[in-house]
A and B are shown apart, each in its own frame.
With several copies, the nearest count.
Chain A
Amino acid sequence: MSPLPSEWRPEAAAIEAVVMVATEPVSSQLLSELLEVSVERIEELCAVMSQAYEEEERGFELAHIAGGYRFQSHPAYHGYVERFILDEVPSRLSPAALETLAIVAYKQPISRAQIAQIRGVNADGVIRLLTQRGYVEMVGRDEGPGQAILFGTSQTFLERLGLESIGNLPPLETFVPDVSTVELLEQALRPGPEV
């Protein structure tokens, strides 16, 4: 039985809704602005909600991390989550994901629509995967109407590719692949278990 007073429900639900769809921890400051209540009130609400989830033995918890709140899986169910990740998360990039990553790397900052235009098909799912794995991140917003999110490659991306900066990528124009690269490329593009 939840210790959350029922008259707190609407505020608690608003927090649940926002934190559920946020991709980064949401600060109490931001929640306070959204709900138009004090920061103290937000913290009180979150503490009680978090305790309630624990008591209700939910599979998720409301964690206070990096100065904000986020939903995450409960440690008690890590076994299921790990198996899910191993089963579901591909072990290598699909050709579509590799193409999209290449476009972002060379054309950043770039919007979803521009990527879709180059590839000829919608790239939302692939961008989501790349963002989620931390290879690609939001780097700004377009100034035009709609203020589209602009994407670029991340520090993680540079580290994994052993690059000091994005300027160290081979230039597009002069590159002629040698035999071993072509082989590697073919391997990378060969169909297999993937996204």
Chain B
Amino acid sequence: MAFAVHLDVYDGPFNLLLQLISVEEVDVYQVSLSKIVDAFLAELKKLEQLDLELATEFLLIAATLVELKCRRLLPGNDDLEIDDDLSLFEARDYLLARLVECKTFSEAANELAGLESMAARSAARRSGPDERFDSVAPDLLAKISPQILCEVARRVLADRPIPVVATGHIHEDEITVAETLDLLVGILPSKGRATLRELCLGDLSKVRFVATFLAVLELYKREMVEFEQAENFSELVIIWTAELRDHLLVDVDNYDDSAALGAR
């Protein structure tokens, strides 16, 4: 069964859409990914059970679409430094190499499937030496006692411990969203306004940045700050707007079960 999409710019099978975008018959900007996803989910709900083939194919095409759209949404060459330009080319080459590689192995997989089904038409002789050779073949159970067998069974059948990846050696930064929030509430009221960069306190690690960003969002959700941004991609300014500071800091979601973002 093929999944069809109905959009303003395109109406037809989903997989064909990708092809048309590839040959620039359909403009990827005009394609609403969210509409496609919604339609697909609605389609899935109609099915009695999940069709894994269909779902996989959808995910693959949808992911490729997202990839395409991201690529095309990247700023034009005018805005880019030479280095960025080069890295863009590299990213593209890398992606192309990946696609070619995937296609190559999926072709090879077809070949293996063909070989296997051909080979399955022959059955191997497996009957082994007949009873006339019993005296020649050694008794493999000669040294095996019921006790040995039992001990082996006990070992093999024992519940095996669930393998756990030891993470003890990974350094964990102990920055939590709750702590960061606490910190921001200490700084922001007196400052009035600050950029996100300033709020990171000079620590530009990814963990610190993410924790600060989430904490700022949390404050926004609680209507304690406002945002200001002069234009797209310019620096984000956070403005303290709350009157009181005594009704917060409860139920802060750390966005992480273990409270630490560091391990990510």
How close is B139's CB to chain A, nearest CB, in angstroms? 6
B99 x A194 contact (CB < 8 A): no
For A168, the chain B residues whose CB sits under 8 A away are 146
For B138, the chain A residues whose CB sits under 8 A away are 89, 91-92
Interface centre among A84, A172, A187 (most CB of B within 10 A): A172
B interface size (C-beta, 8 A):
75
A161 x B136 contact (CB < 8 A): no
For B149, give the chain A residue with the smallest CB separation. A102
CA distance A166 to B107 in the complex (A): 17
A90 x B140 contact (CB < 8 A): yes
Interface centre among A84, A102, A162, A177 (most CB of B within 10 A): A102
How close is A126's CB to chain B, nearest CB, in angstroms? 12
For B101, the chain A residues whose CB sits under 8 A away are 118
How close is B151's CB to chain A, nearest CB, in angstroms? 5
B141 x A160 contact (CB < 8 A): yes
Interface membership of chain A positions 50-64, coded 1 if the CB is closer than 8 angstroms to chain B and 0 otherwise: 000000000011010
B1 at the interface (CB under 8 A from A): no
Interface membership of chain A positions 166-178, coded 1 if the CB is closer than 8 angstroms to chain B and 0 otherwise: 0011111011110
For A89, the chain B residues whose CB sits under 8 A away are 120, 129, 137-138
A105 x B108 contact (CB < 8 A): yes
B109 x A99 contact (CB < 8 A): yes
B73 x A195 contact (CB < 8 A): yes
CA distance A101 to B132 in the complex (A): 24
For B106, give the chain A residue with the smallest CB separation. A99
For A107, the chain B residues whose CB sits under 8 A away are 157
Interface membership of chain B positions 97-128, coded 1 if the CB is closer than 8 angstroms to chain A and 0 otherwise: 01111111111111111011011111111111
A70 x B124 contact (CB < 8 A): yes
A101 x B109 contact (CB < 8 A): yes
Residues A72 and B124 in contact in the complex (CB < 8 Å), given A106-B157, A161-B149, A176-B100: yes
A23 at the interface (CB under 8 A from B): yes
Interface residues of B in 170-196 (CB under 8 A from A): none
Interface membership of chain B positions 150-162, coded 1 if the CB is closer than 8 angstroms to chain A and 0 otherwise: 1111101100000
For B144, the chain A residues whose CB sits under 8 A away are 93, 98, 101, 160-161, 188
B130 at the interface (CB under 8 A from A): yes
CA distance A189 to B154 in the complex (A): 15
A192 x B122 contact (CB < 8 A): no
A102 x B153 contact (CB < 8 A): yes
B92 x A99 contact (CB < 8 A): no
For A195, the chain B residues whose CB sits under 8 A away are 73, 75-76
Which 5 residue pairs of A and B lie closest in terms of their CB atoms, listed nearest first?
A: A194-B76, A162-B119, A175-B107, A75-B121, A98-B109
Q: Known contacts A78-B132, A102-B153, A118-B156; can you find 11 more A-B pairs with CB under 8 A? A: A21-B128, A95-B109, A103-B156, A106-B153, A119-B156, A162-B122, A172-B157, A175-B147, A188-B22, A189-B96, A192-B72
Residues of A at the B interface (CB closer than 8 Å) are 20-24, 60-61, 63, 65, 70-75, 78, 81-82, 84-87, 89-93, 95-99, 101-103, 105-107, 118-120, 128, 132-133, 135, 157, 159-163, 168-172, 174-177, 181-182, 184-195
